[in-house]
Structure 1
Amino acid sequence: MRLLVIEDNRSLVANLFDYFEARGHTLDAAPDGITGLHLATTQGYDAIVLDWMLPRLEGPEVLRRLRDEHGSGVPVIMLTARDELPDKIVGFRAGADDYLTKPFALPELEVRLEALMARAHGRQRRKVLEVHDLKLDLATLEATRAGQPLHLYPACRKLLETLMQASPAAVTRQQLERALWGDNPPDGDMLRSHVYELRRSVDGPFPVKLIQTLPRTGYRIAVPTRGPADEA
């Protein structure tokens, strides 16, 4: 994780560097709001730790410009001694993703940053999955192949999404079963039946077969490099 710390307290910055660099993260620091805004808009960071009271430009104004003038969606957690509700409202309305009141424990800041990163990753997930001429729209759940709509049962659609998210990597049988049924898969080889139905829809009418069986491993969706794909 690459972090930008915009904070004028040198002791706090030193503690943050010691703690996060020891855990393999990379940090840059800015001692004032103007410098912090410049770094935030010219460098790529996974998250920003932003103090409220800063020289030259205060934290909420840095955040407002970052969001409104530069259109940045980078996760930001604000650090401040202000713990009154009106202050928190100002911070969130300026565009903060989270708010941590000083003094704080470094492990708490770490887990909050990890949570922000996880949510940001989810927001950035692809909306339309594509492999060759196969598409799956995650918003509408519409699947098409070469522009033709595919009619899929819910279980087959879930299988397709799981395989396409991982493509071209393989997905094990256990991972597919967990995606369909959680920790309680049904008796018998229901997965094989669903893969067979998915193949009929996705590959049946088309010359290029995308669903491939990997013996003793699982399945994947990818453009074949040689020969036809194995059958389920």
Structure 2
Amino acid sequence: MKRVLLVEDNREIAGMLFDYFECAGMELDYADNGELGLKLAQENTFDIILLDLMLPRMDGLTMCNMLRDSGNNTPVLMLTALDSREDMLKGFRHGADDYLAKPFDLDILEARMTALIRRYRGAVAASKLEYGEVTIDQKTHKAYRQDKLLALNPTTYTILEMLVKSAPNVVTREDIAFRLWQENEPNNDVLRSHIYQLRNQLDRPFEKQLLKTITKVGFRLESGE
């Protein structure tokens, strides 16, 4: 059974989602403000978090950012009426994995949730990947550089895993986009935002940059040695 945390202050939307997903056999926990949502997310294990942007006590962006800073990599799907390009990119920069504007189709929401949960759980072997200074534990979905834990969400983890598996070869933008979104690829700004997030974790705290952009092609990983 999938366990879902819904953080949404609109009781009408919350009731609709409860009815739909309980019929689908999911278990839902609920918070009507960001502070309670953060507390529940930190104290419990969920398969996915559905997070409204405009919340009392703590907004969704702040909650998502605090989750990622604490090392929590549960998938976050933001639900919001703010659907401008900048709003979407801001959500991704704060650690969200996907973004759905209100009003939304419940079948589309469930499909996106299922894709995120599948990617998060991952059909991976209980083994480690290593390339240069980077180590990935495929069983726990944790990644390290020089033994420093990287605060990655499921999307940035997937990108780094692809880079490590292919290193030192280039991974194309098209391959990354297809792995993340299959046929429903968003615009290039969304992938760019995830790459920016990955760089912040992988390279910013260190002297040498490992993630290299190959212009008009894709990305590759250097060993750092």
Normalising by the smaller structure, the TM-score range is: 0.5 to 0.7
Letter of the 1:88 partner, please give it.
M
| Local SS of the residue matching 1:21 | helix
Quick check: 1:5–1:30 contact (8 Å CA) kept in 2?
yes
For 2:163, the equivalent position in structure 1 comes to none
For 1:60, the equivalent position in structure 2 comes to 61
For 2:98, the equivalent position in structure 1 comes to 98
Shift, 1:127, TM fit: 4.7
TM-score w.r.t. the length of structure 1 is 0.54
Structure 1 segments (4+ residues) deviating >3 Å: 137-140
Q: Distance in 2 between matches of 1:42 and 1:127?
A: 25
Shift, 1:118, TM fit: 1.1
* 1:165-204 alignment, distance < 5 Å: none
Gaps of 5+ in 1: 129-136, 141-232
Q: Distance in 1 between matches of 2:83 and 2:89?
A: 10
For 2:79, the equivalent position in structure 1 comes to 79
Q: Distance in 2 between matches of 1:126 and 1:5?
A: 30
| Local SS of the residue matching 1:28 | strand
Aligned: 1:88 with 2:84: no
Determine which structure has more spread, i.e. the larger CA radius of gyration. Answer: 1
| Local SS of the residue matching 1:12 | helix
Quick check: 1:45–1:74 contact (8 Å CA) kept in 2?
yes
Count of aligned positions: 130
* 1:134-213 alignment, distance < 5 Å: none
TM-score w.r.t. the length of structure 2 is 0.56
For 2:42, the equivalent position in structure 1 comes to 41
Shift, 1:121, TM fit: 1.7
Shift, 1:32, TM fit: 0.1
Quick check: 1:127–1:139 contact (8 Å CA) kept in 2?
no
Q: Distance in 2 between matches of 1:23 and 1:42?
A: 25
CA deviations on 1:54-75 (whole Å, 9 max, x unpaired) are 000000000000001x201100
CA deviations on 1:71-109 (whole Å, 9 max, x unpaired) are 011001000111111111110000000000000011111
For 1:205, the equivalent position in structure 2 comes to none
Aligned: 1:121 with 2:121: yes
Q: Distance in 2 between matches of 1:138 and 1:35?
A: 37
Quick check: 1:127–1:138 contact (8 Å CA) kept in 2?
no
CA deviations on 1:178-204 (whole Å, 9 max, x unpaired) are xxxxxxxxxxxxxxxxxxxxxxxxxxx
For 2:8, the equivalent position in structure 1 comes to 7
Provide closer, same or farther for how the CA distance between residues 48 and 5 of structure 1 changes in structure 2, counting only shifts above 3 A: same
Identity %: 48
Letter of the 1:45 partner, please give it.
F
Q: Distance in 2 between matches of 1:85 and 1:29?
A: 28
For 2:217, the equivalent position in structure 1 comes to none
Letter of the 1:57 partner, please give it.
M
Gaps of 5+ in 2: 132-225
Q: Distance in 1 between matches of 2:108 and 2:30?
A: 20
RMSD value, Cα: 1.5
| Local SS of the residue matching 2:51 | strand
Q: Distance in 1 between matches of 2:51 and 2:129?
A: 34
